[in-house]
Amino acid sequence: MSSDGIEHYLIRGVTSQHTLFRPGDWAERLRGVITLFVGERCPGNHIASTPLAMPVVEQDVKCLRVARELGRICPDAFDFVMRFASDNDLTVDVCGLLDEEPGRDPERAGDISKEYQL
pLDDT digits (tens, 9 = 90+) for 94-112: 987 644 454 544 444 444 5
CATH code: domain 8-115 is 3.30.70.2340
Res 2 pLDDT > 80: no
pLDDT reported for residue 50: 62
User: What confidence category does residue 39 fall into, taking pLDDT thresholds of 50, 70 and 90?
Assistant: confident
Q: Which pTM does this prediction carry?
A: 0.75
Buried b (16+ CB within 10 A) or exposed e, 26-59: bbeebbeebbebbbeebeeeebeeeebbebeeee
Mean pLDDT score, 79-83: 95
What CA–CA distance (Å, rounded) separates 42 from 112?
Answer: 22
Is the model's pLDDT at 38 over the cut of 90? no
